[in-house]
Amino acid sequence: MYLGKITGNIIVGQSGGPTAAINASLAGVYKAGKDAGAEKVFGMLHGIQGLLEGKLIDLSEKITCDLDLELLKRTPAAYLGSCRYKLPDYNKDTKDYEKLFQILKEQEISAFFYIGGNDSMDSIRKLSEYGELLKSPIRFIGIPKTIDNDLEITDHTPGYGSAAKFIAASTKEIIRDSLVYNQKNLTIIEIMGRHAGWLTAAAALAKGNDCEGADRIYLPEKDFDKDAFLKDITALQKEKKSLVIAVSEGIHLADGRFVCELSDKDFYVDEFGHTMLTGAGAYLSALVKREIGCKTRAIELNTLQRCASHIASLTDIEEAFEVGKRGVIAAAAGVTGVMAVIKRVSDSPYLCTYETHNIKEIANMEKKVPLSWIKEEEDGMSEEFLRYAKPLIMGEVMPVMVNGLPMHLEYVSER
């Protein structure tokens, strides 16, 4: 595909929670940018927050050969560092915008790429709109990233496939381990997901000829009923001794309270007003132990879901690289205020194409799991979900092994 021509320099940053595939998108932007003729590809250290402090590097000094590029694609977390920095409304406060555009002008930036999720796409929306007010020639492009898979328009989001693969594999292994002892026991796996249950739904992929799968899957798309939950666990334990259930960290009661908030612990709130959710599994484990009396265990997959590059999906890594490349193609064509998106052509054989879409129809939106994909009895997900998710976890990315461990591209010293 013809990349077009990039003049001057370009800059790329990463924001929000990292994934096993976010650096593959960084590699895609870098490679396509250089191929399109960009003189320099700058990287923001810690996203927009770092850029406001003048922290940026020339990526050519860090990516010096093809091996570096391949290592970058296999390196977890955000190579450039991340942030959760909320740009103010430019109609009320232009200080950040004036400083950012001055920095971009000084560095002769012609295109700005931001790899992230919903909040990052809101930043691209604001920057592109402010740029239009100034009649700035700089193009602002969003590159999708989030394990939550909750960005609108795109069929799925890079980062989700690898996280789903890790969750499905871990669920399968936990189920196997739970069968060791001949006694009643309940294992609760707490999986990330505030309002959208895509990650927890991935536990359903563990089911197969050699695994019964999770006994119950609870997503935040549906209200959680404690009494019904206890009644269900009691009934299930009459049928089998060992139970494994998967719950989203964001499951909530009908009155809107998160289950994790029923505990007496304090919660951290970030720049965007998001409460850090943790403890739903521990609360339910204690509840069952107290009310039913069986052995219980709560397992939080936590950050392992997003950093397990050793079991990354090849499909995910390849698509992450391609959306980075698609963003550069859009910038070279003079487009601004868009996000690169994935469009599914077919499930079998699995085939996708790449294009861009207006950021205003993506930012501040949230894609949830369709209710029709959630089984009423809550023991799994529908065939529609399985057809959707299975292709995303396919293929393996073999790490470059050194001394028995995966090798990563060395992080920037300034971080």
Question: Binding site: residue ranges?
Answer: 17, 118, 146-148, 192-194, 249
Token code pair at residue 158:
């890079």
SS3 content of the chain, % helix, strand, coil (to 5): 40, 20, 40
Q: Which of 220, 203, 171 lies closest to 371 in space, CA to CA?
A: 220
Using CA atoms, how far residue 37 sits from 7, 32, 67, 332, 336, in Å, is: 7, 9, 21, 10, 18
Judged on CB neighbours under 10 Å (0-12, 13-18, 19+), 372 is exposed
The answer to whether the CB of 215 falls within 8 A of the CB of 234 is: no
The residues near 227 (Cβ < 8 Å, ≥ 6 apart) are none
Annotated binding site for diphosphate: 17
Using CA atoms, how far residue 31 sits from 2, 59, 69, 76, 78, in Å, is: 14, 11, 8, 18, 17
Active site residue 148: yes
Q: Is 280 left (phi over 0), alpha (psi -120 to 50) or beta?
A: alpha
Question: What is the H or E stretch that residue 171 is in?
Answer: helix 160-178
CA distance 412 to 415: 6
First to last CA, the chain: 36
What is the side-by-side strand order in the sheet with 56-58? 56-58, 41-44, 9-14, 109-116, 139-144, 338-346, 351-358
CA distance 226 to 252: 10
In the set 122, 148, 150, 232, the catalytic residue is 148
Q: Which of 121, 112, 164 lies closest to 144 in space, CA to CA?
A: 121
Question: What is the H or E stretch that residue 134 is in?
Answer: helix 118-134
Annotated binding site for substrate: 146-148, 192-194, 249
Q: Which of 336, 326, 367, 372 lies closest to 155 in space, CA to CA?
A: 367
- Per DSSP, the residues of 213-250 read --SEEE-TTS---HHHHHHHHHHHTTT-SEEEEEEETT
CA distance 19 to 79: 11
Backbone angles phi and psi of 44, in degrees to 5: -80, 135
Annotated binding site for Mg(2+): 118
Catalytic residue positions? 148
